[in-house]
Amino acid sequence: MVSPFVHDFTDKVVVVTGAGGILCSFFAKEFARAGAKVALLDLNEEAAQGYADEIVEAGGIAKAYKANVLEKESLQSAKEKVVADLGAVDILVNGAGGNNPRATTDNEYHETDLPEETKSFFDLEQSGIEFVFNLNFLGTVLPTQVFAEDMVGRAGANIINISSMNGFTPLTKIVAYSGAKAAISNLTEWLAVHFSHVGIRVNAIAPGFLVSKQNEKLLFHEDGSPTERAGKILNGTPMGRFGEPNELIGGLLFLADEQASSFVNGVVLPIDGGYNAYSGV
């Protein structure tokens, strides 16, 4: 028996969406380091290509593809190229997503005497909310429709979605992102049941708080000092610090590895320093 603690993805084809970003490119690199052939999909093909080049330079196998996770035709075109270049897909990581200022309020709590310039819940435009919700939710549904169709009945096939602490308890200000990540967690469970008779496992990781380009302005002032929001996060995280991208890899590879997690299905795994477990007292 192969040790479940040595992740070997040799000859497996892994598709990672959103791989032009820092976090998902990190996922791609780690799968490649474990022997997988990795397809890096992103709307920003140049960014994805840069990370693919890094993988190849390090001795791995990777190719970049332009794909819009909100356009099924774009995804279908990318899939055909992936299969032609790398082979049939074994693992899909739905990494594309994120928040946007257009769907973020300035205030945590609504008050009757807010300053006039405050962007409140009532000021959020439909287009901004739709963009964030669609990017996260539809941006997971559509790639799953396209890639999972060929994964049916394929030994070891599985899907990893990216949820969030928002999927358990909504955070203030980011209404659309919170709702979308809750939907991702629910979708993960739904898909796990739906595909359970055809051999596709579906799980998710729910990262805690990491510092990224998407949230750094919410967490730090321009002078580098932490914001009040950052202080609240750290006070609510028993381990008392922000997470690092490499701390997500153990959970990600565990869920993707059929040798280690063949009976794990429909799980949303918090990787959060204890945030979700902490009641505040």
Catalytic residue IDs: 177
Burial class (CB in 10 A: 0-12, 13-18, 19+), 246: exposed
Pick from 78, 76, 77, 85: nearest CA to 20: 78
Q: Are 19 and 48 in contact (CB under 8 A)?
A: yes
Rounded CA-CA distance 92/99 in Å is 22
Structure tokens at 223: 């002078």
What are the residues facing 66 on neighbouring strands?
Answer: 42
Residue 135: CB atoms within 10 Å: 22
